[in-house]
Amino acid sequence: MKKTVSIILTFALIFSSFAVMNAFAVSFSDLDGHWGKSYIDVLVNDGTINGYDDGTFRPDGTVTRAEFVKMIGKGSEKTDVVYTDVPADHWGYDYIMYSGLDVSGTQFMPDKAITRGEVLNLIWKRNGSKTGISAPSVITSQSDNKDAAAWGYTYGIMTGDDGLNLRLGDTLTRAEGAALIVRAREINENSPAKDFADIVSPDVLKAVFGSQTLFDREYNPNATFTNGEMARAVLRFGSRQYNLTFKNISAVNELDCEYGKEFYVTRGETLGGVPNTAEFVSKNANVGDTLSEMCYNLIKLVTKSAKFDTSASYPDVTGADGTQKKYLDYAASNGICLFADGKIHPDKEITMKEFAAILLQLDAVIGTQVSYASDGSGTNENLSTDVAKYPENYGDYTAIIKSIPNYVYSNKISSAKASESYSFASAMKQMFVNPLSEMEKTLEKGGIKANITYYPTLVTNPESYFIYRVKVSVSEADNASLASVLGDKYKCTDVTANSGNTVWVDLKFKLPMGDLLLFYTDAEIVNAFIG
């Protein structure tokens, strides 16, 4: 009888303990409606973490290194390092000594905020230090530990707010720490890996797709497109022309069909192994053909030499034409990755979402936008992928460039949208560059040394003239007045320039007639400002 009573009391105590824990887990005054509540409940219920005496959990509080190693629990091996800043009576001593957290030297820095990168490395180690996971270089390049980044990203443990920027240098909150620990616990050998295009934010992919005017229809993530549409799109990409002129290249519509000229050119570039028929032109494009053509036309566009590395290749690219394989190997060597299995699946019909994912990665590798110095030399520019921080009027522009501050976009250039002039501004770049060298010389005579940069993305055409915004990077100046230095010819808004300043200047350029177009150098300044 006594034994039976004892067993009943024991079970009663166990169940009452769980009841108290569960009640406590849901009773934190600051967890109702919080996104991390379910993760926090898991760790509170297993006794890994707890709340504060005032009845709060403080889910948005920053986690220290000591706090996180207690949250994740003790590892299997004790370090032999004697930490000079962790005495034996430290509240987290055992957790710290068995943490496995990477430390340089003999200081653990228990009260320092832990970073997302440190957390990712630790949970990767706790989960067996998996290697051989495939992820694009745009992801793995964010970390010194590429294996940890690929593992955490591909299995959805750490993908960042936009599925792209892991923010590895940032600190993290108690709720974020709980979420990462619980997600990592749930990963096993049967867990599905996700493809890149399915992780990146749809808003980011849509913005990247729209950064080039390549297709004649709206972005539809899961829509496919034909070989003819692909041919036109990649040529627009490489020439920066929406209305293709085929200038200085041989283009024959030998198949007498829509997209015939475009297909003739692309087939000669990298697609020599595909059928030369109108039927093929109307079939849906695949990943391999599209990727090789994108790489070819990007390299044709870039302003720095492209390094070819034939030591890398996709495991499923075997029967490609020699030229096509060269450009697919280029993509592989630069870490272009669409699928979690590490293959490229060249024969798979490509979607607009996957096209945008390729464009995003190529932009990260080289930069798909171009800016021009006063001598006409170009520099590749990267797109801004931080869509959440785009200016409200971002729709006025074809692309938002990473190196250009938001205030430059927010300050309207004119009543016209720059997106409507982008193709012309790219194709006729020399016309807009011509006035810049003369302006640099005038500035230098007045004691201001500066370099001026032209961006095709910052050109508007409100009437029978253009207004475009250029960047004036001042290297030498001492409280110099731009109005005084530039004089009546430019009629500049008065701005005081000093060494290190960046001045944004809006130039009004009247469109000349006939052959003068490419030699015209007169431009009037209508606005100037420093951010």
CA distance linking residue 250 with residue 154, whole number of Å: 44
**In sequence order, what are the beta bridge partners of 504?**
471, 529
Regions of the chain with pLDDT less than 70: 1-26, 303-310, 511-521
Give the closest residue to 448 by CA, choosing from 505, 405, 401, 407: 505
Within 10 Å of residue 178's Cβ, how many Cβ atoms?
Answer: 27
Using alpha carbons, list the distances in angstroms from residue 156 to 39, 125, 186, 190. 15, 16, 11, 14
Name the token pair of 485: 């230095």
pLDDT computed for residue 46 by the predictor: 86
CA distance linking residue 239 with residue 65, whole number of Å: 51
CA distance linking residue 50 with residue 41, whole number of Å: 9
pLDDT computed for residue 523 by the predictor: 80
What interhelical angle do 287-301 and 227-239 show, nearest 10?
A: 20
Using alpha carbons, list the distances in angstroms from residue 237 to 242, 296, 378. 8, 10, 16
Output the CA torsion 478→480→486→491 (10° steps).
150
**CB-based burial of residue 168 (10 Å sphere; 0-12 exposed, 13-18 middle, 19+ buried)?**
buried
Name the token pair of 519: 């030699």
Name the token pair of 456: 């095709």
**CB-based burial of residue 323 (10 Å sphere; 0-12 exposed, 13-18 middle, 19+ buried)?**
middle
Phi, psi of 208 (to 5 degrees): -65, -45
Residue type for position 114? I
Buried b (16+ CB within 10 A) or exposed e, 422-454: bbbbbbbbebbbbbbeebbeebeebebebebbb
What interhelical angle do 65-72 and 116-126 show, nearest 10?
A: 30
Instruction: Give this prediction's pTM.
Output: 0.88
Query: CA quadruple 346, 348, 351, 354: dihedral positive or negative?
Result: negative
pLDDT computed for residue 520 by the predictor: 56
pLDDT computed for residue 231 by the predictor: 97
pLDDT computed for residue 24 by the predictor: 41
CA distance linking residue 418 with residue 435, whole number of Å: 20
Name the token pair of 344: 């490229």
pLDDT computed for residue 8 by the predictor: 41
Strands (E), 446-501: 449-460, 465-476, 480-481, 496-497
Within 10 Å of residue 222's Cβ, how many Cβ atoms?
Answer: 8
